[in-house]
Structure 1
Amino acid sequence: MIVESLTVWITAKIATKAFGFLVETIISKDFVKDLVKDYAKDFFKSIFNNAVTAPFKREPLQKAEVMALAEFVQLMQEDLEYGGFSKDYIKNYTQSIKHFIDNPEVKQILGSAFKHDCQAIDTNKLQQIWRHQLNRSDDFNWKTIGKKYLQKVKEIILEVDELREILNSHNLQEIVNHTKETAGIIPQFDLEKYQEAIRERYGNLKLDNLDTTGYAYNELKLWKIFIAQNVKEANQVLPQVHELPKEHLRRLRESNQLEAEVEEEELERHKRVYFEQAIRSVLDIVNEKRTYKYIVILGDPGSGKSTLLQFLALNWANSPLDNVISLRIPLLIELRTYMRRREDKECHNFLEFFHKCSGAISHLNQHQLHEQLLAGRALVMFDGLDEVFDPGKREDVITDIHRFTNEYPNVQVIVTSRVIGYKAQRLRDAEFRHFILQDLEAEQIQDFIKCWHDLTFKDEADKLRKRERLERGIATSESIAELAGNPLLLTMMAILNRNQELPRDRAELYNQASRVLLHQWDVERALIEDKRLDPKTIDYKDKQGMLRQVAYDMQTSEKGLAGNLISASDLEKILTDYLKTIEFDKPREAAKVMINQLRTRNFMLCFLGADYYAFVHRTFLEYFCAWEFVWQFEKTRSLTIEGLKSEVFGKHWQDETWHEVLQLIVGMIEPKFAGEIIEYLIKLDGEEEDFINLFLAVKCLVEVRNRSVIASTADKLVKELKDRAIADNDEDVRRAAVEALVSNFKDDPDTLPWLKDRAIADNNEDVRCAAVQALASNFKDDPDTLPWLKDRAIADNN
């Protein structure tokens, strides 16, 4: 009955308003019927804390929602018409607009216009939803639509008397609440509302910075995909122990260059104690709240520190309400936000922050919260101590945390921070124990990949194919495997794997990973805070440009890539010279800030002691080095194809430490030029080096996305490998040629018969063995493989 009356009412309204065809098509009887089911809960969510259940209140709100949506759709149509689009073209928008206005977030934004003090709606968010979630081009003037829509809402409020009464009543209550809040009292300690706020803030994985395609990950709830990492306890947090790669620690120690901040014997003792620590699940540590009451969780960027705290909060938020009363309430405070509110004099302590500040997840009455904390019925989590950049302010936060633990001694407290730049003494004095997050182990990586694909893909065959492809990419590439232990970078791999094949497309992975690491934790704030410096933005592209030149400089040094080593003075000069090219004020001072940021924030460089730096991950050194050669070849044209062949590949094909860089170069340039390089490698005389030139050529061919462009080159390479497999005097070369052929040319119809021939006819038993092994592992799905293997097992005399 309600549906019928509402439909009659809206039909009459639409008729009198002379709306366009989009409104008539979208605001249909079925649309109204679906709307009645939730009686405007989503639409008026930002105004009413709880669902409006009284029937006499529902109908006015439903009328208001339908009218507002109709007006908004009409404004979208008018905007398209103003843009010169024809009626037939505009009809193509019907389904997208219908899905758009049915989106709960969109409804909530449009409903916010009914607030008594609303001056503007969030058109930026509307634009983002339209472009990314619906994957539509941006054809609308959103700000203009937003302004016109606000005016239409005012007309609707004046038109519907019952609606005006409801809103006025609500506004009066808001004034009462505000008055009480000013007096220091917030009337609610609503745990159900707090649960909902936690789910809304942290429930979905935050993938906006990782995935720019607009692909929807609606099913990826954080608590479903969370993998509990392992930790080791760190009795001493020392850069010499936790920052230095082992190879550099050994090299510097042997040459007596290690900094003398800690006696070597003492340093070795700390290293031994840390590495001998038992590995435990971080959740086991958190759950032993009597033993581990005060905890600091340390980790690298993207290692999962914040995700851990969000998971702990979500565990509580997803518990049934009748159980929540007996559970510890999670209080998650993002310290960067807290400090901003504290500096603005909005609050003086953590309780006031939760009581009234805009950055809190949800407001909780501080008097009741105080009682909960005294009784120990809370888990308090301070996230991102390292996000408080100013050292003096960071000390203030630590003082606040220490004071908090003294005031509420029965509460378990967790603090997170990055390892680099962290000073442990003050919190250790406050009886905090320190744990360092470990990289994901192979089994944990497998669990994540399985969970990710189960939640992301509906089609079983597609799910299995892409999951196995990612697992294979990590297993077969040391460079990719090195990064996969970091949860942030592993998530990025899972996203890219949807449309790209690793490891062949790993250059794109490294590009996206560096973009996120260099952009997500930006340098601009540090430049602004240093009053001597020009606060000009240095974006991630500039930082990529600097790192290309740093890697190139390392590559041209005496030690070359094997060194992964650069002096502080050389590093500072490279960055200074780059900053001069973009007309940066005081480039030398800015370069010093940049070095610190690339080390402490961006997870790219690490300090080795003795005034030397290195790339944290060798993978990025190789990638940026390759990219610099490609940049010179394609952008600045300072390197020709002949120079690339002779000066880069010609000089370094015999050095296996260069092979990853050379392969990346081939994968990053156009196939026709890649073909020229592969032809160049084939023609080299590699007999004295066990034909390493041919095996490098095979690896380079694998990097080429479109092999059909260089089919004749691939044929030449196959012929060369077959010649080596049959006629070479060295058994190791023959075995390697067989394995290279089968693993890289499996789809060639000539490969399988040729392989069987080698397995039977080759006069060398090692080559026959290699052929049998290659056939068993690469053609196991062929129905003829098993009978053929049985025959070999009987007939071969070896």
Structure 2
Amino acid sequence: MSQKNNKKRPKSRSWRGLFRRRSDPHRAYREKYLETLQYQHRTFDVKGLTTQGIFTLELARVFVDLGLGQMGQRPSTDPIPRFAPAQQRERHSIWEYLTSESLQNHNLAVLGAPGSGKTTLLKHLTLTLASPESLPESVQGMPRMPILLLLRDYAAIIEEEPDFSLLTAVKQELARREENIPLDWLAQDLQNGRCLIMLDGLDEVAKPQLRRQVVAWVERQMQLYRNNRFIITSRPFGYRNNPLNGVLVLEVRPFTPEQVRQFIHNWYLANEIKSAGHDDKGVRLDARQGAEDLLVRLRQTPVLLDMSVNPLLLTMIATVHRYRSSLPGRRVELYEEICEVFLGKRHEARGILYDLTPAQKKRVLQPLAYAMMLHKQREISIEEAMAIIDEPLSRVSPHTPRNEFLRMIENTSGLLVEREVGMLGFAHLTFQEYLTAVHVLDQRLEHELVQHI
């Protein structure tokens, strides 16, 4: 992780020290601000998932730290990446990048495929820094007043008011929470380089021109508040054509087997504690037995084991296991939900709308999957794919160019992946098989399929 630096940010004061100073006139405002952040980000976000547990889980109980590494030549859009031993060796916690003496002058861009945990990572950072009395000593030397903003919430304002300030954005964020906290102290903290500014979801600014304006705004904030640290997250496509100047680009690594195990145990324990209303030896035994049962089923079901490297997919698998008791059993409902979520259902739940609905995208992809299965293809040229989707796409969106539709599916959902130049394939054979099966049922093509067996 070593990087050269010519100038260093000024050392920030001990955060514990700031809170212990009884003479600090802004202490009450700081504490109220951090309390608001805790309330806002403390829950584990499962918006947009059809199968949900009956309990709201605390993020701190479920979270497993992500592995990060410096980006290769081309970041992967694949939500279920193939195992790459070299990438697995280079895995560092976000805290390592933030506390490294050699990187203290670097802002960070964190790129990851759909469902890889980028937003959850920023929420974890926010919650950790919002509890200054429990901060580990290892993070005492870094700027640590957290600011977390979702870029999609401010894109329209930035378009109308390019000089819209970061501080105004924080005020508007607090107003949404019905909090009216004076922020003179935060302006001072920004001036003195005491903040960690996290800007989430560059890719969620859908219009390319507007995204470029948002990138320009982010770069202005990084220059204006240059003594602070910034972290920007995005899916690869949102960053590829809009790179930020002077940032260290990191890529989220897929879960390792140990991370899968840790997450499942954390998730089951959080559910059992909520279910029982208390935490004791019996509750922990029930949680351990449920987690171990799921781990056994994953090992016995290679398809699900492949998917478990993606935190969002692992959450969906764990939820189906606990609340439907249907794994490995009938997995079609799980695959249906995965396709819907990755094609936009989760974004819709967050208020992000695209020109095509998840159902419309699915109808276009079904004949593509079917044609590939008939010809026993795992990958297909972009030209061939465009010819196959021409008719179904014209029915749902006649003005959408075929190549733009394919790129949109690759970039925003990860269901299609370009593993070789000019060649597309489904991220996992399971998705291809599921979409084929739905197409066969919808079009009553069972007789044609039988002829190819």
TM-score (norm 1): 0.47
How far apart are residue 298 of structure 1 and its match?
0.8
Per-residue deviation, residues 528-574 of structure 1 (Å, max 9, x unmatched): xxxxxxxxxx33223223222211111122xx1xx311222332233
**Distance in 1 separating the partners of 2:250 and 2:239:** 13
Is residue 263 of structure 2 the alignment partner of residue 456 of structure 1?
Answer: no
2:116 match: secondary structure: coil
* Equivalence for 1:612: 423
How far apart are residue 334 of structure 1 and its match?
0.9
Contact 1:546 1:574 in 2 (8 A): no
Is residue 356 of structure 2 the alignment partner of residue 556 of structure 1?
Answer: no
The residue identity in structure 2 corresponding to 1:512 is E
Contact 1:232 1:277 in 2 (8 A): no
Contact 1:198 1:314 in 2 (8 A): yes
Is residue 228 of structure 2 the alignment partner of residue 390 of structure 1?
Answer: no
Is residue 393 of structure 2 the alignment partner of residue 579 of structure 1?
Answer: yes
Per-residue deviation, residues 636-684 of structure 1 (Å, max 9, x unmatched): 43425xx76x535xx2xxxxxxxxxxxxxxxxxxxxxxxxxxxxxxxxx
Contact 2:294 2:318 in 1 (8 A): yes
Select the residue among 203, 221, 227 that pairs with 2:64: 227
**Distance in 1 separating the partners of 2:80 and 2:40:** 40
Contact 1:237 1:424 in 2 (8 A): no
* Equivalence for 2:18: none
Per-residue deviation, residues 34-92 of structure 1 (Å, max 9, x unmatched): xxxxxxxxxxxxxxxxxxxxxxxxxxxxxxxxxxxxxxxxxxxxxxxxxxxxxxxxxxx
How far apart are residue 497 of structure 1 and its match?
0.5
How far apart are residue 284 of structure 1 and its match?
1.9
* Equivalence for 1:494: 318
* Equivalence for 1:600: 411
**Distance in 2 separating the partners of 1:464 and 1:208:** 26
Per-residue deviation, residues 229-260 of structure 1 (Å, max 9, x unmatched): 111112x5426xx4589999xxxxxxxxxxxx
After superposition, residues 281-430 of structure 1 pair within 5 angstroms as 281-288=93-100, 291-292=103-104, 293-320=106-133, 328-345=144-161, 348-356=164-172, 365-423=182-240, 426-427=243-244, 430=245
How far apart are residue 395 of structure 1 and its match?
2.4
* Equivalence for 2:257: 442
* Equivalence for 1:520: 346
After superposition, residues 116-155 of structure 1 pair within 5 angstroms as none
The residue identity in structure 2 corresponding to 1:409 is R
Alignment identity in percent? 25
**Distance in 1 separating the partners of 2:269 and 2:79:** 36
1:307 match: secondary structure: helix
| 1:576–1:379 distance in 2 versus 1, CA, 3 Å | same
| 1:226–1:243 distance in 2 versus 1, CA, 3 Å | closer
| 1:545–1:443 distance in 2 versus 1, CA, 3 Å | same
Q: For structure 1, which segment, 498-507 or 327-336, has the greater mean C-alpha deviation from structure 2 after superposition? A: 498-507
* Equivalence for 1:466: 290
**Distance in 1 separating the partners of 2:352 and 2:92:** 37
How far apart are residue 303 of structure 1 and its match?
0.4
Contact 1:189 1:368 in 2 (8 A): no
The residue identity in structure 2 corresponding to 1:238 is R
**Distance in 2 separating the partners of 1:569 and 1:505:** 35
Contact 1:521 1:602 in 2 (8 A): no
After superposition, residues 633-672 of structure 1 pair within 5 angstroms as 635-639=442-446, 646-647=450-451, 651=453
* Equivalence for 1:541: 359
Contact 1:228 1:283 in 2 (8 A): no
**Distance in 2 separating the partners of 1:194 and 1:366:** 9
The residue identity in structure 2 corresponding to 1:540 is P
The residue identity in structure 2 corresponding to 1:284 is E
Contact 2:110 2:231 in 1 (8 A): yes
1:422 match: secondary structure: helix
How far apart are residue 299 of structure 1 and its match?
0.4
* Equivalence for 2:42: 203
Per-residue deviation, residues 307-343 of structure 1 (Å, max 9, x unmatched): 11111111122344999x9972101111111212333
How far apart are residue 512 of structure 1 and its match?
1.3
| 1:491–1:315 distance in 2 versus 1, CA, 3 Å | same
| 1:434–1:484 distance in 2 versus 1, CA, 3 Å | same
Contact 1:354 1:363 in 2 (8 A): no
| 1:243–1:346 distance in 2 versus 1, CA, 3 Å | closer
TM-score (norm 2): 0.79
The residue identity in structure 1 corresponding to 2:46 is L
Length, aligned pairs only: 409
The residue identity in structure 1 corresponding to 2:346 is Q
Per-residue deviation, residues 688-707 of structure 1 (Å, max 9, x unmatched): xxxxxxxxxxxxxxxxxxxx
| 1:247–1:432 distance in 2 versus 1, CA, 3 Å | closer
**Distance in 2 separating the partners of 1:626 and 1:299:** 30
The residue identity in structure 1 corresponding to 2:205 is V
After superposition, residues 712-791 of structure 1 pair within 5 angstroms as none
**Distance in 2 separating the partners of 1:604 and 1:589:** 19
2:406 match: secondary structure: helix
Per-residue deviation, residues 716-754 of structure 1 (Å, max 9, x unmatched): xxxxxxxxxxxxxxxxxxxxxxxxxxxxxxxxxxxxxxx
Select the residue among 25, 29, 38 that pairs with 1:190: 29
1:216 match: secondary structure: coil
Contact 2:61 2:267 in 1 (8 A): no
Q: For structure 1, which segment, 458-467 or 511-520, has the greater mean C-alpha deviation from structure 2 after superposition? A: 458-467
* Equivalence for 1:9: none
Is residue 303 of structure 2 the alignment partner of residue 479 of structure 1?
Answer: yes
The residue identity in structure 1 corresponding to 2:417 is C
How far apart are residue 404 of structure 1 and its match?
2.2
2:239 match: secondary structure: coil
Select the residue among 626, 632, 636 that pairs with 2:437: 626
After superposition, residues 224-303 of structure 1 pair within 5 angstroms as 224-234=61-71, 237-238=73-74, 242=76, 275=87, 278-288=90-100, 291-292=103-104, 293-303=106-116
**Distance in 2 separating the partners of 1:447 and 1:317:** 24
Question: Considering only CA atoms, is the larger Rg found in Structure 1 or Structure 2?
Answer: 1
| 1:296–1:379 distance in 2 versus 1, CA, 3 Å | same
How far apart are residue 409 of structure 1 and its match?
2.6
| 1:431–1:579 distance in 2 versus 1, CA, 3 Å | closer
